[in-house]
Amino acid sequence: MNQRQICYLDNNATTQVAPEVVSAMLPFFEEFWGNASSAYTFGKQLAAHIEQAREKVAALIHADPKEILFTSCGTESNNAAIHSALVTQPGKRHVITTSVEHSANIKYGKFLEKQACEVTFLPVESDGSIDLHLLDISIRPDTAIVSVMWANNETGVFFPIEEVAAICRSKDVLFHTDAVQTPGKIKIDVKSTGVDFLSLSGHKLHAPKGIGLLYVKRHTKFAPYIIGGGQERGRRGGTENVPYIVGFGRAAELAIASINDENTRVRALRDRLETTILRTIPNTMRTGAKEPRLPNTSNIAFDGVEAEAILMMLDQAGICASSGSACTTGSLDPSHVLLAMGITPSRARSCVRFSLGIYNTEKDIDYLLEHLPGMISKLRAMSPSDGESAKAETVSNAISA
């Protein structure tokens, strides 16, 4: 199945690499493929391209280019921020994060618990929001860092990052935010927000997979996570991935330019998708707060049906959506995000995330809305009459029927 045949509604999992990004990267595969740390011109001329890209990604979040550290992905950036806070403050072994973070934080937190650290996973309310008072009183003298995501990848719900940053500042505790889902959707200004660390990932903003960044506020102590050569001013070892860094820079320029489109046209597409599903398909509900939320994301429960079954049927029709983070696909457990919001396991197993992007059009939404109601009716007709969810294993029959 090629790209022309798919209706791609899974932009929180990854995004299509923009043609402009591909064009910007190609010369760095074909012609300028040297090592940026070399002493001769063929290699060292690349350093200027890395610095130009650094300026572009810094502009996306209103940072100083010197505050940007290129990494391999959002996961590395999150791990690196928390690791650094623990290493630079050896007496502090307590970390605070939330129970709805991406597995990049949840699993790293579980790992730290086995390394003699204590990790507080803050609970959330039923709409996905956090209790700031609880955050405030959870901070202890031995808290090394607070890490709270900016926008949730499954529900799109925003956390009040400025307020979280203010609480951390008042208690003199480092603050990291995973802002991986935000570029191109909201304006980020690290200076006015007051964060110490911030993570981004290229493949969520139309750059390739395998490139990310960590913003480290000026004068913040930093201990490298990847130890090796002196690249990135000694803060991350490893030969610089010049084509991807250049591509990330170009994607950052495009993200700045697409904020308006995401918040008007894409938001209207998402709203049409959501309101039509909720109005026309019985026993459906949106999970998480309606606002403030990413303009592209809608997470909907289809009571009485397994999301895996819906996704299989959508896939047969060439529609890509998901039941949560791509990083937890294959797990039979319901989403930890939805469970943390107090959603029952059976309802959580019925939730599908639709996440749109700048390449979606009205036709994609027409196509989804044409097919989805019939699929849900078919699956519900097969499901046990006591309202239990249809079992995924019975779905293959429905698909071939």
* Residue span 33-72 as binding mask against ligand PLP, x where in contact by CB under 6 A, dash where not: ----------------------------------------
Q: Which of 15, 120, 147, 181 binds ligand PLP (CB under 6 A)?
A: 181
- The burial of 332, by beta-carbon neighbours within 10 Å (0-12 exposed, 13-18 middle, 19 or more buried), is given as exposed
Q: Which of 180, 266, 294, 375 binds ligand PLP (CB under 6 A)?
A: 180
Binding region for ligand PLP (CB under 6 A) out of 23-31, 116-124, 177-185, 187-195: 177-185
H-helix segments, 240-317: 242-261, 267-280, 307-316
Under rule CB under 6 A, residue 157 binds ligand PLP: no
Q: Which of 80, 122, 149, 343 binds ligand PLP (CB under 6 A)?
A: 149
H-helix segments, 242-389: 242-261, 267-280, 307-316, 336-340, 345-348, 362-382
Under rule CB under 6 A, residue 379 binds ligand PLP: no
In the complex, least distance from residue 324 CB atom to ligand PLP, rounded to whole angstroms: 10
Can 327 be counted among the known catalytic residues?
A: yes
Residues 313-332 binding ligand PLP (CB under 6 A) are: 325, 327
Tokens of 277: 């599903």
Would you say 27 and 35 are in contact if contact means Cβ atoms under 8 Å apart?
no
Under rule CB under 6 A, residue 212 binds ligand PLP: yes
Q: Cβ of 337: how many Cβ atoms within 10 Å?
A: 30
CA-CA-CA-CA torsion sign (193, 199, 202, 203): negative
Of 188 and 376, the one with the shorter C-beta distance to ligand PLP is 188
Residues 327-356 binding ligand PLP (CB under 6 A) are: 327
Q: Report d(CA 194, CA 174) in Å as an integer.
A: 10
Under rule CB under 6 A, residue 73 binds ligand PLP: yes
Would you say 212 and 231 are in contact if contact means Cβ atoms under 8 Å apart?
no
Identify the active-site residue in 168, 320, 327, 351: 327
Under rule CB under 6 A, residue 198 binds ligand PLP: no
Q: Report d(CA 58, CA 69) in Å as an integer.
A: 10
Q: Please report where in the chains the tokens 């999992």 appear, as a residue.
A: 13
Helix or strand (DSSP H, E) at 400: helix 395-400
Which residue's beta carbon is nearest to the bound ligand PLP? 74
Binding region for ligand PLP (CB under 6 A) out of 21-29, 178-186, 215-223, 295-303: 178-186
Under rule CB under 6 A, residue 297 binds ligand PLP: no
CA-atom Rg of the chain in angstroms: 22
Under rule CB under 6 A, residue 201 binds ligand PLP: yes
C-alpha angle 49/54/57, rounded to 5°? 125
Under rule CB under 6 A, residue 102 binds ligand PLP: yes
Under rule CB under 6 A, residue 273 binds ligand PLP: no
Q: Which of 10, 49, 56, 74 binds ligand PLP (CB under 6 A)?
A: 74
Would you say 30 and 381 are in contact if contact means Cβ atoms under 8 Å apart?
no
Under rule CB under 6 A, residue 98 binds ligand PLP: no
Long-range contacts of 106-113, Cβ-Cβ distance < 8 Å, separation of 24 or more: 106/336, 108/78, 108/79, 108/82, 112/82, 112/86
Of 60 and 73, the one with the shorter C-beta distance to ligand PLP is 73
Which are the catalytic amino acids? 327
Residues of the shown chain interacting with ligand PLP in the complex, contacts defined by CB under 6 A: 73-75, 102, 104, 149, 153, 178, 180-181, 201, 203, 212, 325, 327
